[in-house]
Structure 1
Amino acid sequence: MITLPRIMLATLVLIGGYVFVVAPRVEANTRTTASWQEQLAEPVPSFSPPASAPSRSRATFPQAGTAFFGVFTEKGPGDLTDYNGFVRAAGKSPQVMMFASGWGAEKHFDRQPFDRIVNRGMLPMLGWEPWDYRAESKTDRDRGTQPQYRLARISGGDFDGYLTEWAQGIKALGYPVAIRFAHEMNGYWYPWGESANGNQKGDYVAAWRHVHDLFDRLGAGNVIWVWSPNVVYDNATPLSQLYPGDAYVDWVGLSGYYGTAGMETYQTFEQIYRPTLNELKTLSRRPIVVTETAATDKQGRKADWITDLLQTLPRHPEIIGFLWYESVKETDWRIAATPAASAAFAQGIAQPYYGATWDPDMVPRRLIRTN
């Protein structure tokens, strides 16, 4: 099992609010909701191809026998420098792009980042963070302390005006949007973690369900809900305590990096992810997406790790895609950083397995495939 001393996590933060490497579990739930297909059949604005384009069947994303690859950059669609470097290095374009948005900083809905991503042929994934990352403490144990963003305030309705504006805005987009809400909740470094900020056991599930239900009531059925813990580590909050149930989740996401602070000794993808993947099998039937990953080159093995990643994922049919963190932060995580890393990524991603395609008429794969 991968362990991560808590003191080391202080260096693992991305400015938009991202840390890496911890775990998840799941509980049964009897709530029923309309299926994705039923939601799309409702009178919700939809993306319409040009009149001259042939009609498209409602295919599943990603298609059977394939996985998608995506990109997450620190600056998101507002500055495409890292994205463009990633595309050049990979030799082809990704199908998903994630960007982060904090409740305290981005106070109003803005459709432009979503449109910029869709106009480049990618599914937008919003990393939606209930905190003010500008006020983040630089003291490790205090990073998750922002009382105004306690989970009980979310489930209690204090942010319903804000949530309503965003739900209506996302509904009006008329195309699918993945929302990775309050990620890495099994750690202590964000205000929405149950081990931080005065939160109590059960608060996370209550907050998640409250946000989900509000979107449902407003008819925002174009959302793919992504529940995304960190890969497991010692003393993390048990995932079974945090999982809102399959009726509230479409995809399960995971964060896990090779080479975070103090852990530069080489570890394969299996060594980093296997304990969490085994745990998830007992918790959910939802597909898994590696929502954050990358590798250091401090020991000269970044290209090796990329090759291992892209050769290993096809042996995990439960994993339907991954997103690479293409930015310079704690280290230079970019595949574009060196010719060796670029070549390894381009060679691996050229496999037919990574040949998934996306368009706005597709529906998300919501059950794990075994073939």
Structure 2
Amino acid sequence: MRRLTAARAVLVLTGALLLTYAAAVAPTPMFGGREDGRSDRPVTAEPGSPPRPAKAEPEESPRPDAEPFPPAGKAFIGVMTDKGPHDFAVLDAFTAAAKHQPQVMLFSASWNVDTFDRTLFDRISNRGMLPMLGWEPWDYRVDKAAREKKLPTREIDQIRSHQPAYRLSRITAGDFDPYLRSWAEGIRSLGYPVAIRLAHEMNGDWYPWSEASNGNRPGEYVQAWRHVHDLFRAAEVTNVTWVWSPNASWDGSLPKLAGLYPGDHYVDWVGITGYYGIGAYTQYRSFDSIFGPTISEIRAFSRKPLVITETGASDATGRKAEWITEAFRALPRHRDILGLIWFEVDKELDWRIVSSPAVTRAFATAVADARYRFSWSPELLPRTKLDD
């Protein structure tokens, strides 16, 4: 009996030592626990000891999603002036006449001379407007010189569209990459959203980035667009809304848009340029007759939100105020149109809303509607998908 008891004592002592070692040294099993070795089970107090309060794990407050721009059911009013952010005199006159603060300002920059200038973007943003850059791969001075000679419109088109230095193939080949990279880095540094309307009205033949001019070939426009977009992506630029903006088709003579579309992965907003009161639109044509066919064509290959990126009306037939009133009656029926940018410029014809008291009243009355009354701020996130 004494030998058996001693053996048992040795076994008990050995077991106790092993349990003590396991509790102090051995890692906590993963099964039923956490990866950091801390149990998810509640802590129980020793018998007879006072209860210990549970220690709450620190939790991060969920970050609310950014509010969309424009808000659901709303549409923005934008403006483009001759001098853009370099001089706000025309903007101030437009704002006073419209009795409305525009939420977007479109301005142009030419690849031949314009380097990135943060001041221009900040001036627009500080005025409570989303900056939209009309980025044009050409030498705009060729166009300016031709206009100063007062040449016929089609002759000006032919002169300015022939600029071999800015052929699409050169963009894709990377010839402009250092320039593009400087803009990408500058725009990334802004820290707030901007829109880029790159190489607009590509379906015409009046710009050197058109496939119908300047020795360009079919397919090269999409390649050039994607090259620019991919360069920005490689530079980790995430604050750009990319705007692809063809001209409205009017007589079936322009090329089909599907072959010029870079794809939904490369485009955030689809814009359309269209005017009333010039060329094919000298006779009265409604908003829907000008933009409707192009909208239908676009909807065959993309469901991206639409923006009227450039529009205006002349008083060539004395119906400018009427057209404005009718256009803004039609606009709410197009729930996929997020906004409209007015061309507030006296160029070729006077497109401005300040051209006459009747026109001013018509525009101010139209934009007084509640669907256009909201503010832009840098914290808003541009809407890139249509509501279901």
Superposition TM-score tier, normalisation by shorter sequence: 0.7 to 0.9
Question: Is the CA contact (8 Å cut-off) linking 2:275 and 2:281 kept in structure 1?
Answer: no
TM-score of the two chains, using structure 1 as the length reference:
0.83
Q: Which residue of 1 aligns with 2:206?
A: 189
Task: Judge conservation of contact 2:142–2:160 (CA < 8 Å) in 1.
Answer: no
1:369 aligns with 2:377: no
Is the CA contact 2:200–2:244 (under 8 Å) kept in the aligned structure 1?
Answer: yes
CA distance in 2, matches of 1:142, 1:134: 11
Question: What is the CA deviation profile of residues 188-215 of structure 1, one whole-angstrom value per residue up to 9, with x for unaligned ones?
Answer: 0000000110111110000000000000
Q: Which moved more, 1:203-212 or 1:346-355?
A: 346-355
Rounded Cα–Cα distance in structure 1 between residues aligned with 2:218 and 2:113: 27
- Give per-residue Cα distances to partners, 1:291-341, cap 9 Å, x unaligned: 000001121111101101111110001101000000110111110111111
Structure with bigger helix share is: 2
Equivalent position of 2:26 in the other structure: none
1:125 is the counterpart of 2:123: no
Contact 2:277 2:317 in 1 (8 A): no
- What is the CA distance between 1:237 and its match in structure 2? 2.1
Do residues 164 (structure 1) and 172 (structure 2) align?
no
Q: How far did 1:369 drift? A: 3.0
Separation (CA, whole Å) in 2 of partners of 1:368 and 1:301: 33
Q: Equivalents in 2 of 1:166, 1:182: separation in Å?
A: 15
Alignment of 1:322-361 (within 5 A): 322-361=340-379
The Cα shift of 1:92 comes to: 1.4
Amino acid of the residue matched to residue 337 of structure 1? S
User: CA RMSD of the aligned region, Å?
Assistant: 1.4
SS in 1 for 2:246: coil
> Is 1:257 aligned to residue 275 of structure 2?
yes
Alpha-carbon distance, 1:356 to partner: 3.5
Say which of 59, 68, 82 aligns to 2:67: 59
Give the alignment's TM-score, normalised by structure 2: 0.79
Which residue of the partner structure matches residue 306 of structure 1? 324
Query: Which residue does 2:97 correspond to in 1?
Result: 89
SS at match of 1:71: strand
Equivalent of residue 176 in structure 1, options 182, 186, 193: 193
Structure 2 gaps of 5+ residues are: 1-62
How many residue pairs match? The answer is 315
Alpha-carbon distance in 2 for matches of 1:316, 1:369: 13
| CA–CA separation in structure 2 for the residues paired with 1:263 and 1:67 | 25
Please state whether the residue corresponding to 1:320 is helix, strand or coil.
strand
Aligned partner letter, 2:330: T
Structure number with the bigger relative contact order (C-alpha 8 A, sep ≥ 6) is 1
Aligned to 2:13: none
CA displacement 1:209-243 (0-9 Å, x = unmatched): 00000000101110000000000143212211100
Matched, 1:272 2:290: yes
| Whole-angstrom CA distance in 2 between matches of 1:333 and 1:56 | 42
Q: SS of the residue aligned with 1:248?
A: coil
Decide which structure has the larger Cα Rg and report it: 2
> What's 2:107 paired with?
99
User: Once the two structures are aligned, what percentage of the paired residues are identical?
Assistant: 54
